[in-house]
Amino acid sequence: MSRVDGKPGRRSPYKPQLGELVRDLAHKGAVGAYMGTECGLAYLRRPAGGCEWSTPAGEIEPADGVELSADL
């Protein structure tokens, strides 16, 4: 999960492993496989495949307890 880095209102980004499922807090909790980070943006892809999307790196957290279904 995102952690407070000692500065008010600032979180240090969660650093997942490549391919790890994460929750995108900036996109209504969408779940995606982590593809990498560049220029402060995390790139995610739907678990079933498809186009990548980007989100601020500080807005992702582990997707613990997520059950995959056909609609993901």
Q: Could you read off the pLDDT of 18-32 as tens digits, one per residue?
A: 999 999 999 999 999
* pLDDT for 9 beyond 60: no
Distance in angstroms (rounded) separating the CA atoms of residues 29 and 52: 16
Distance in angstroms (rounded) separating the CA atoms of residues 49 and 55: 17
State how far the alpha carbon of 62 is from the alpha carbons of 14, 40, 66, in Å: 8, 18, 9
Phi-psi region of 28 (alpha: psi -120 to 50; beta: other; left: phi over 0): left
Asked if 25 and 19 touch (Cβ cutoff 8 Å), the reply is no
Could you report the per-residue pLDDT of 12-64, keeping only the tens digit for each? 678 999 999 999 999 999 999 999 999 999 999 999 999 999 999 999 999 98
Predicted model pTM: 0.75
Catalogue all structural domains in the chain, each as residue range(s) with its CATH number: 3-62 (2.30.30)
